[in-house]
Amino acid sequence: MKRFLSLLLITFFATAALAAPPPIPKTPAAIKGLLYAQAFELDDEFQFYWRAEKPKVSSGYLLVIEVNPDLVYPRQIAEPVLYVGDQTAMRLNVGYKSGRVIAIVPGNQNLAKSSVDNPEKTEMRIWFGTPRLPEQVTANIIQQERQLASDNGVGQLSVADVKKALQLGGQKLKAGNFNGLLGNVAKLIINYSEDERELADILANQGK
């Protein structure tokens, strides 16, 4: 896991060296869409470093999210944090050129649960919140950010679109451990963010 994080940081900073950073967009900010969602279950837990509590995780979702590229430009300062429902999302690629981010979200949230106020929209939100380091985010901060997103009408998705993403993801992925997910992540990067093929090759080797 720690080696994976080191590889990801190297990729982020290599990409950041290519161009001057664009301004950080205003947050809370909506995503453009959820393209793919697949539930996963692991035999062995891994530690989730993308929030302050560092919970142990053995289930969740692999997501492909279409975004405004400026929100995911790799910066050496605090960046907008990606939230999914009551969780922070672990971004597994850069996504700046493609505008598509592959992410892990822990837990068994019902992604397609309808909102009481509008049955055509989901109760669960996906959005970018206040720039900060994900490892500083606590449960209280998540609730504050979610309320801010709700107050600004940001983050709700179409139930139909979420169900389509889940259908595309198919059956639940079962793997032994975190590394067992990486082969699937590599395939998603190639399919949705092909310019990051080098990262996909690294992750595929990690997953063997």
Nearest to 87 by CA among 155, 32, 152: 155
Planar angle of CA 8, 201, 102, nearest 5 degrees: 55
Q: Give the pLDDT of residue 76.
A: 81
pLDDT for 51 equals 95
In the chain, the number of structural domains is: 1
Q: Residue 43: what pLDDT?
A: 97
Q: What is the DSSP string of 21-84?
A: PPPPPPSSEE-SEEEEEEEEEEEEEEE--SSTT--EEEEEEEEEEE--GGGG---SS-EEEEEE
pTM: 0.90
What pLDDT is recorded for position 75? 84
Tell me, what's the pLDDT at 9? 46
pLDDT < 50 regions, the chain: 2-3, 5-7, 9-10, 13, 16
Prior bond to 28 cis, omega within 30? yes
Amino acid (one-letter) located at 82: L
Which string of b and e fits 45-77 if b means at least 16 CB within 10 Å? ebebebbbeebebeebbbbbbbbbbebbbbeee
Task: Give me the helix-helix angle, 178-192 and 2-16, nearest 10°.
Answer: 20
**CA-to-CA distance for 87 and 187, rounded, in angstroms?**
24
Residue-number span of the structural domain to which 72 is assigned: 2-206
- Please report the pLDDT score of residue 187 as a whole number: 95
- Residue 4's pLDDT is what? 53
130, two tokens:
């206040």
